Amino acid sequence: MAINNNQQLEAQRIAPLVQEQAIREAWAAFDPVFQGGVSYEDQERNLDQRSANALNSIFGGGDGEDSTIYLEQNAVYQASFQGLLPTGTQYSLSVVNNEINNDTNDFNSEFTSETRLQVTQPLLRGFGPEYNLAVVRLQESRLDQERYRLHGLVTQVLEQTLGTCAELIFAQENL
């Protein structure tokens, strides 16, 4: 009953659980990250007379359209996957695709794509698992501290309870 009804002990029981969560958060630094994005742009620009004449002479502008307006639509699709390893190695894989439609290509899409893989390994500062796992080890050490603190508190409550029981028995015998 003394252990189950002790408020200080009840509060201390939560501390190791909180510290276990802190360890999971420390390991989260090594979780990979996926990012993606899409952007779209639709532009109408007025061309100066020189640019309009140049476009008309190249592509022919005699179909009755306003040749001083330049239309362009751009779409960009991006995705990346990046992370950190316990050895300090940083990695990144990214893909970017561009789709361009404009007056000069008669609204036939032009595509450009770029794929990039980047790996960075530090050789001096930040090298090795000892350096990169220091926060994890620190949190694990704090978890051990919280467990010992809980164990010490349980021992203290049991000691007080047994001492109180012994005093009660001694008082009853004195009576």
Q: Would you state the pLDDT for residue 57?
A: 59
Q: Could you give the C-alpha distances from 146 to 13, 24, 43, 142, 169, in angstroms and in order? A: 9, 16, 61, 6, 34
pLDDT in tens, 155-168: 998 999 899 999 99
Rounded to an integer, what distance in angstroms lies between the CA atom of residue 18 and that of residue 121? 33
Q: Would you state the pLDDT for residue 64?
A: 47
Residue linked to tokens 């939560």: 14
- Cβ contacts of 36 within 8 Å, gap of 6 or more: 78, 79, 80
pLDDT, averaged in runs of 10, over the chain (175 residues): 82 91 94 95 76 59 57 91 93 94 74 94 85 92 94 91 92 92
Q: Would you state the pLDDT for residue 100?
A: 87
Residues in the chain: 175
